């Protein structure tokens, strides 16, 4: 889908806990400073938003979970537990060799203009692909990764 990805080396049954999303826990303010300092395109980060408003930065002390790409028809989902740890679970049976993905549900508060959507392009290739990693504004999902 994009750059590096994570692929199943074995068959993974539905519901299995696959990997923790590890990394340094930072404020959104720090995350934005880091994104700016890194000079990456706005749509490219290893951030995972937590319920308490902080962010896991997978680029700092992270693991392979940071390489899991977004898909509009994902085979995994992230779950944040009461202790603030995040694990990635299989949404369905995943065959050996399949790329793992979850729905990022990126929230962008401003107007979703064509230019903004182009900053967060989705190349998941799913039949229902929306063309952007941004969640439609009305969905208001709490999970977010950028
Ligand atoms: C958590 S990283 C995933 C690993 C990434 N492929 C890499 O090589 O670093 C998230 C970034 O990967 C890219 N990405 C993930 N899923 C994508 C998709 N479906 N289409 C296009 N780019 C994607 C975006 O740049 C996003 O900010
Ligand atoms: Zn897509």
Q: Could you read off the pLDDT of 35-62 as tens digits, one per residue? A: 888 877 666 789 999 999 999 999 999 9
- From the list 24, 95, 105, the residue with the least C-alpha distance to 66 is 24
- pLDDT at residue 142 greater than cutoff 70: no
Residue spans per domain, the chain: 17-139
CA 14 / ligand 1 centre spacing (Å): 23
With respect to CATH, is domain 17-139 assigned 2.170.270.10? Answer: yes
Each residue of 2-41: pLDDT tens digit?
889 999 999 999 999 999 999 999 999 999 899 888 877 6
138 C-alpha vs ligand 1 centroid, how far in Å?
23
Return the number of other C-beta atoms located less than 10 Å from residue 62's C-beta.
Answer: 18
Q: What is the pLDDT of residues 99-133, one digit of tens each?
A: 999 999 888 778 888 888 888 899 999 999 999 99
- Asked whether 142 lines ligand 1 (CB < 6 A), one says no
Q: Are 133 and 106 in contact (CB under 8 A)?
A: yes
Q: What is the CA(73)–ligand 1 centre distance, in A?
A: 15
**H/E segment holding residue 110:** none
Compute the distance between CA of residue 99 and CA of residue 25 in angstroms, rounded to an integer: 26
Q: Whose CA is nearest to atom 27 of ligand 1?
A: 44
């Amino acid at each position: 889908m994009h750059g590096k990805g994570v692929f199943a080396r074995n068959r993974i049954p539905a519901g299995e806990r696959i990997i923790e999303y590890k990394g340094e826990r930072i404020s959104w303010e720090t995350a934005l400073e880091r994104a700016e300092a890194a000079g990456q395109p706005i749509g490219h980060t290893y951030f995972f938003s937590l319920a308490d408003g902080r962010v896991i930065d997978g680029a700092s002390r992270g693991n392979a979970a940071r390489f899991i790409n977004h898909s509009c028809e994902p085979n995994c989902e992230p779950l944040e537990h009461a202790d603030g740890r995040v694990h990635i679970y299989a949404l369905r049976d995943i065959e050996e060799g399949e790329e793992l993905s979850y729905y990022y549900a990126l929230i962008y508060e401003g107007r979703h203009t064509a230019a903004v959507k182009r900053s967060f392009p989705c190349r998941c290739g799913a039949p229902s692909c929306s063309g952007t990693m941004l969640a439609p504004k009305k969905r208001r999902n709490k999970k977010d990764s950028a």
